[in-house]
């Protein structure tokens, strides 16, 4: 089932619109190509509606917010809802400023998201209307541990019920949940926190997987998180073998997504269902 999610992306090659930040835009475009989908990066409000109509899915990332891109996000998001195309929200740094928090609230009230994908601090901030972060990174105090895992699963299910979106929380342990069922995913490597944009890339990947699997959004989002984690592990192994660093590791990760098969995803997946 999870491998099929990947194979459908390669078969259908959905076109994904990304309204994203200028830090990791190129990585998001490349990982979208690597998984077999096609990216378009456009944040102009003038073409937002046309682009949303043309594309099969939309990824909205709040990494480097400004008033013009927010207009494009709202226009493209609403049009994607009209067209029935999945929309992913990556609420980057939601707890870092009131501007980000207010923007996230506006997006959530105007757009029906298919998935909300962020680190634990970002998702907690959205759900509680306030929170903390280390800039765009999670606050260490929020980290999911074995002790807090049961509460976090319940929290993700509840927030999925409230938003009607799949909630994908990333970190050392990922939780991908709808209101009834949660995947607790233990793929990934700590080096991924040293590569800016692993979360942004995962959000682009999630949009591609959702667009290619319209009937199975939970499984598609879980498969995207597993794929990202597995490829992070493979990239780390190559980096370590070559005594390379985080920059090479970023490239190795995208290369691993390029080569990943459905069968490898099934075999390497490390998760439990709750």
Ligand X SMILES: Nc1ncnc2c1ncn2[C@@H]1O[C@H](COP(=O)(O)OP(=O)(O)OP(=O)(O)O)[C@@H](O)[C@H]1O
- Which residues in this chain contact ligand Cc1ncsc1CCO in the complex, by CB under 6 A? 21, 23-24, 63-64, 92, 136, 196-197, 199-200
- Classify residue 23 by burial, with Cβ atoms within 10 Å: 0-12, 13-18, 19+: middle
Length of the chain, in residues = 274
Residue nearest to ligand Cc1ncsc1CCO (CB): 63
- Known binding residue 197? Answer is yes
Rounded Cα–Cα distance for residues 272 and 274 (Å): 7
With CB cut-offs between 5 and 8 Å by kind, which of ligand Cc1ncsc1CCO, ligand X, Mg ion, none does residue 138 bind?
ligand X
Residue nearest to ligand X (CB): 199
Give the DSSP H/E element, type plus range, for residue 183. Answer: strand 182-185
In the bound complex, what is the minimum distance in angstroms from residue 92's beta carbon to ligand X? 6
- For Mg ion, the closer of residues 17 and 133 by Cβ is 133
Task: Please count the other Cβ atoms lying within 10 Å of the Cβ belonging to residue 247.
Answer: 11
- Going by C-alpha positions, the residue among 22, 23, 58 that lies closest to residue 40 is 58
In the bound complex, what is the minimum distance in angstroms from residue 67's beta carbon to ligand Cc1ncsc1CCO? 17
CA 113 to chain centre: 12
- For ligand Cc1ncsc1CCO, the closer of residues 2 and 207 by Cβ is 207
Residue labelled with tokens 């990332």: 61
Task: Please count the other Cβ atoms lying within 10 Å of the Cβ belonging to residue 151.
Answer: 10
Decide if residue 116 touches ligand X (CB under 6 A).
no
Task: Please count the other Cβ atoms lying within 10 Å of the Cβ belonging to residue 122.
Answer: 32
Decide if residue 144 touches ligand X (CB under 6 A).
no
- For ligand X, the closer of residues 163 and 170 by Cβ is 170
For 174-191, the DSSP string reads EEEE-SS-EEEE----GG
- For ligand X, the closer of residues 58 and 173 by Cβ is 173
Decide if residue 211 touches Mg ion (CB under 5 A).
no
What residues line the site for ligand X (CB under 6 A)? 92, 118-119, 136-138, 170-172, 174, 188-190, 192-193, 196-200, 202, 225, 228-229, 232
């Amino acid at each position: 089932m999870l491998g099929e999610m990947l194979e459908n992306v390669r078969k259908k090659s959905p076109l994904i619109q990304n309204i994203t930040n200028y830090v990791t835009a190129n990585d998001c475009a490349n990982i979208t190509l690597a998984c077999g989908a096609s990216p378009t990066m456009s944040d102009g409000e003038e073409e937002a509606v046309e682009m949303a109509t043309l594309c099969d899915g939309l990824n909205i990332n709040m990494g480097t917010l400004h008033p013009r891109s927010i207009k494009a996000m709202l226009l493209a998001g609403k049009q994607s809802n009209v067209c029935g195309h999945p929309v992913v929200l990556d609420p980057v740094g939601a707890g870092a400023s009131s501007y980000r928090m207010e923007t996230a609230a506006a997006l959530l009230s105007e757009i029906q998201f298919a998935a909300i994908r962020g680190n634990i601090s970002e998702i907690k901030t959205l759900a509680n209307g306030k929170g903390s972060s280390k800039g765009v990174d999670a606050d260490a105090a929020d980290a999911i541990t074995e002790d807090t895992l049961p509460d976090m699963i319940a929290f993700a299910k509840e927030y999925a019920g409230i938003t009607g979106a799949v909630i994908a929380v990333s970190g050392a342990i990922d939780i991908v949940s709808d209101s009834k069922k949660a995947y607790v995913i233990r793929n990934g490597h700590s080096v991924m926190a040293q590569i800016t944009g692993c979360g942004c890339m995962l959000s682009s990947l999630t949009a591609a997987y959702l667009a290619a699997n319209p009937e199975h959004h939970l499984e598609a989002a879980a498969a995207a998180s597993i794929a990202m984690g597995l490829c992070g592990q493979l990239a780390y192994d190559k980096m370590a073998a070559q005594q390379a660093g985080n920059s090479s590791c970023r490239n190795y990760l995208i290369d691993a997504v390029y080569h990943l098969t459905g069968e490898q995803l099934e075999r390497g997946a490390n998760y439990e269902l709750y």
